[in-house]
Chain A
Amino acid sequence: MNNIEDRLKLFVVHSGSIPDKDAFIEILHNKIEKREKYRQNLLNSLAGIIVLVLCGTGLFLNTGGIESVDDQMDFLFFAEYDVESIGSGWIVDEEFIFEAAAYLLSEEDLISTGWSIVEILDELNLINDFELSKNGG
């Protein structure tokens, strides 16, 4: 045992310089400040999250959950802007057809635009509607 104890007593470290105390204290204070700020930010964030979760839960419980969009008026509002609805007679009236025809006829190539008028009107199924509306529909 004594040998070991002697060896332990001899056990030294080839020491370099001891760090400067003032520099050490400066770094120490910076670290303390940094950690304090970090802790504060963490607490604030946690508090924010808790408030958000509480508000969200409260709102969800009060409104009875997510409501489905089945209101007829909302549906009509969106359908009004639906391009597909042009062909199904939603916003078809005489004025629209005349305006469309006038626009297409004003094109330079009269022959090709003439056919395109027919094609478009046929595509939109407007000819029948127009006929119907002229016949008192």
Chain B
Amino acid sequence: MITDYELIQQFQMGDKSAFDTLVKRHFNTTYGMLVRMVQEPMDAEDICQEVYIKVYKNLEKFRFESEFSTWIYRISINAANNYFRKRKLREIIGLEKTIKQMESPEEKPFSSHDPVLWDAITKLPKNQRTTVMLRNFQQLPFKEISGVMGITENSAKVNYHYALKNLKKHLKKDYE
């Protein structure tokens, strides 16, 4: 089977169809991760589109210094963090409530298994939230998490440790 690197090389040599093969190959992972991260399938699909538009624009400049999947993870994490930032902003100005009120139950086929936990995760600082998500939702080892986030492996472990501590603090009631 043709590797990701070979497909990227084909794309860089002008074969734009190689991009479609790459999307097909990584779509499930990217979408799956995003839907777990943002808990909204429609939003996850939109973010996924943004991720692959970014990939398309920057694939010419890909320097083969990391795995393609790690690169996609990194772009996805940044896109998801942007989403959370916008969401927080909407919450501050009170738009989020209005949007939630407008959504009917039929329009929301996904629902979180544990909304309290989800709420606590979204309130974590950016690096802690990302570590928790990559570690638990994607089952990534700390080494890969460090590669995706551009931090050391130890730093990833520390972030994860504090994330768990903070989650426990947020969910104090449940453990009393």
Contact = CB atoms under 8 A, between A and B. Distances in A.
A15 B110 contact: yes
Interface bracket on A: 20 to 34
Interface string A1-20: 10111011111111110110
A93 B64 CA distance: 95
B115 to A, nearest CB: 10
B164 A1 contact: yes
Contact of B168 (A4, A11, A15, A18): A4
A38 to B, nearest CB: 12
Contacts of B35: 13, 15
A27 interface: yes
Q: Identify whether the interface residues of B are mostly helix, strand, loop, or mixed.
A: helix
A114 B108 CA distance: 91
A32 interface: yes
Contacts of B110: 13-16
Q: Identify whether the interface residues of A are mostly helix, strand, loop, or mixed.
A: helix
B45 A24 contact: yes
Contact of A16 (B23, B56, B109, B114): B109
B57 to A, nearest CB: 8
A21 B114 contact: no
Interface of A: 1, 3-5, 7-16, 18-19, 21, 24-25, 27-28, 31-32, 35
